């Protein structure tokens, strides 16, 4: 009875929009009190997520992304992408997608992409005559590439929970992330041709040379990070430190974009964001402990296997489940609550854990676009000064494409596992 009450309290708090960390924590306290368990156990469980070296990479990648956004990198990457594809019908729409793909190799966060690079992209597109809803939709959709192309904050969290190599996850996301970005370009092309959006003159070799010179150092970021990780020189956590140091060098000494007050604002903002993430991690660890104590993962596995033991049908069911959850919960919460619940099923069905981590993350990225909780859609709606409903309607063509890409990645595991296997990872067969 107490286990059901615990779930009811959690759902009740969510319905009344209690912040997710408090909903997880308060419902966990109710469970402990109902079962006469000592509340002093809760703090001990709360600190367990941090007995993990990879988790240290989360705040560091958050800081690196914020430093890159503020240090003039966003504008240089945008101008570089404009020189590359600005002459194709769809011009700034293509620039938006390509810019996000490049920036994804630095920030690891869809929200950072939408809020940072997105501010540059939307302002430029609207100023050049692109409709605000289209500008916002392209920005929101392309930002979902951020956590798929490495580095990736969700990959770090999932890897530490599932006991999977974060480096293998990073490598596994490279091809799917590229497919995601390239698949959006035809959508941009068709809509742009229909609406007769502005096309830029093809850049000269001189323009290309200047753009490469301006963006060269930022473009080295993903090369340095992934090169260091895949070669074994640094761990993903050490790569996160490297990203922060490199971003500081670019912003402070190369581009000289920072002053003391800006650095203080950046560190304060990242500190607040980190505090939020850590608070959710701690309360979710207690929630997850209760689920495990009650045997919920085993119940979920048994229920799913009663429906079917077919691996491919299970993947479809899991996709539907995560897409539905993405409509109502944020990415980190779904990872922390659902991964412990479904991991036994995934292992029993012999689904490769790197493959599962990538297609799970892509599911959650699509959730950043869908109402009522689509965080990226809310961010770009605010940037474009239009309603959330207009953004959601405009993103529908991109969501269709992303779901098609999700199906490809789900049922062709080699799109994920091939690259990690080149560096020694052995996929589950």
Task: List all residues 6 or more positions away from 168 whose beta carbon is below 8 Å from its beta carbon.
Answer: 354, 420, 423, 425
Long-range contacts of 325-330 (CB under 8 A, 24+ apart): 325/367, 326/363, 326/364, 326/366, 326/367, 326/368, 326/370, 326/373, 327/367, 327/370, 327/371, 327/372, 327/373, 327/374, 328/14, 328/372, 328/373, 329/20, 329/367, 329/373, 330/20, 330/373, 330/375
Strands, E assignment, 4-126: none
DSSP assignments along 224-263, one per residue = HHHHHHHTTSS-HHHHHHHHHHHHHHIIIIIS----HHHH
DSSP assignments along 369-395, one per residue = TSTTT-HHHHHHHHHHTS-HHHHHHHH
Q: Which residue has the higher pLDDT, 171 or 269?
A: 171
Question: What's the pLDDT tens digit per position in 121-144?
Answer: 888 889 888 999 999 999 999 999
Q: How far apart are CA 238 and CA 235, in angstroms?
A: 5
Q: How far apart are CA 7 and CA 282, in angstroms?
A: 18
* Mean pLDDT of all residues in 76-103: 87
Structure tokens at 235: 């761990």
CA distances from 252 to 19, 68, 262, 266, 302 (A): 37, 11, 11, 13, 55
> What does the domain layout of the chain look like in residue ranges?
40-422
**Which of 82-91, 98-107, 187-196: highest mean pLDDT?**
187-196
Question: What's the pLDDT tens digit per position in 369-417?
Answer: 887 777 888 888 888 989 988 999 999 999 999 999 999 999 999 999 9
Confidence (pTM)? 0.87
Burial of 355-372, coded b for 16+ CB within 10 Å and e otherwise, reads: bbbbbbbbbbbbbbbbee
Question: What's the pLDDT tens digit per position in 306-349?
Answer: 888 888 899 999 998 898 888 777 788 788 888 888 888 899 88
Q: How far apart are CA 122 and CA 359, in angstroms?
A: 28
Question: What is the residue whose two structure tokens read 């929970």?
Answer: 161
Residue 363's Cα: distance from chain center in Å? Answer: 10
Q: How far apart are CA 260 and CA 293, in angstroms?
A: 49
Lowest-confidence pick of 110-119, 214-223, 232-241:
110-119
Q: How far apart are CA 27 and CA 5, in angstroms?
A: 9
**Residue 65 — φ and ψ, nearest 5°?**
-65, -45
Question: What's the pLDDT tens digit per position in 161-178?
Answer: 898 999 999 999 999 999
SS (H, E, C) 318-366: HHHHHHHHHCCCCHHHHHHHHHHHHHHHHHHCCCCHHHHHHHHHHHHHH
Residue 233's Cα: distance from chain center in Å? Answer: 25
Q: How far apart are CA 355 and CA 224, in angstroms?
A: 24
Question: Are the C-beta atoms of 203 and 83 separated by less than 8 Å?
Answer: yes
Structure tokens at 65: 């992304």
**Region of 83 on the Ramachandran plot (φ > 0 left; ψ -120 to 50 alpha; else beta):** alpha
Give the per-residue pLDDT at 237: 85
Give the per-residue pLDDT at 71: 63
Of 365, 59, 104, nearest to 219 by C-alpha is: 104
Q: Is the pLDDT of residue 1 over 60?
A: no
- The H or E element containing residue 294 is none
The mean pLDDT value of the chain amounts to 86
Please return the burial class of 255, using the count of CB atoms within 10 Å of its CB with bins 0-12, 13-18 and 19+: middle
Give the per-residue pLDDT at 13: 85
* Mean pLDDT of all residues in 154-164: 90
Question: What's the pLDDT tens digit per position in 40-77?
Answer: 888 888 887 777 777 788 888 888 878 887 767 777 88
What percentage of residues in the chain have a pLDDT greater than 70?
98
């Amino acid at each position: 009875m107490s286990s059901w009450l615990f779930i009811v309290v959690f759902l009740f708090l969510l319905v009344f929009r209690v912040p997710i960390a408090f909903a997880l924590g308060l419902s966990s306290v109710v469970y402990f009190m109902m079962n006469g368990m000592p509340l002093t156990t809760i703090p001990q469980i709360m600190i367990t997520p941090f007995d993990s070296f990879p988790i240290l990479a989360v705040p560091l990648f958050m800081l690196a992304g914020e430093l890159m956004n503020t240090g003039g990198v966003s504008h240089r990457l945008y101008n570089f992408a404009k020189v590359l594809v600005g002459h194709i019908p769809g011009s700034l729409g293509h620039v938006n997608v390509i810019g996000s793909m490049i920036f994804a190799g630095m920030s690891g966060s869809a929200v950072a992409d939408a809020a940072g690079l997105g501010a540059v992209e939307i302002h430029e597109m609207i100023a050049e005559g692109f409709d605000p809803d289209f500008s916002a939709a392209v920005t929101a959709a392309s930002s979902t590439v951020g956590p798929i192309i490495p580095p990736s904050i969700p990959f770090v969290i999932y890897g530490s929970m599932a006991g999977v190599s974060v480096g293998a996850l990073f490598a596994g996301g490279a091809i799917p992330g590229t497919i995601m970005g390239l698949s959006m370009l035809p959508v941009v092309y068709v809509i742009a041709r229909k609406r007769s959006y502005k096309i830029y003159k093809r850049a000269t070799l001189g323009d290309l040379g200047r753009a490469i010179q301006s963006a060269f150092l930022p473009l080295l970021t993903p090369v340095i990070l992934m090169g260091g990780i895949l070669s074994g020189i640094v761990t993903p956590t050490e790569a996160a430190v490297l990203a922060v140091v490199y971003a500081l060098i670019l912003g402070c000494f190369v581009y000289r974009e920072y002053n003391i007050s800006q650095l203080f604002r950046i560190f304060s903002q990242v500190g607040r964001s980190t505090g939020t993430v850590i608070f959710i991690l701690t309360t979710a660890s207690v929630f997850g402990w209760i689920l495990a104590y009650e045997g919920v993962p085993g119940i979920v596995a048994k229920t799913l296997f009663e429906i079917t033991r077919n691996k491919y049908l299970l993947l479809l069911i899991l996709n539907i489940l995560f897409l539905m959850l993405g409509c109502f919960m944020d990415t980190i919460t779904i990872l922390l609550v659902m991964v412990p619940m479904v991991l036994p099923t995934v292992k029993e069905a012999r689904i490769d854990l790197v493959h599962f981590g990538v297609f799970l993350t892509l599911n959650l990225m699509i959730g950043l676009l869908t109402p009522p909780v689509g965080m990226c859609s809310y961010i770009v709606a605010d940037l474009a000064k239009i309603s959330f409903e207009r953004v959601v309607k405009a993103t529908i063509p991109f969501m269709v494409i992303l779901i098609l890409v999700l199906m490809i990645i789900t049922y062709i595991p080699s799109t994920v596992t091939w690259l990690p296997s080149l560096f020694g990872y052995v996929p589950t067969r």
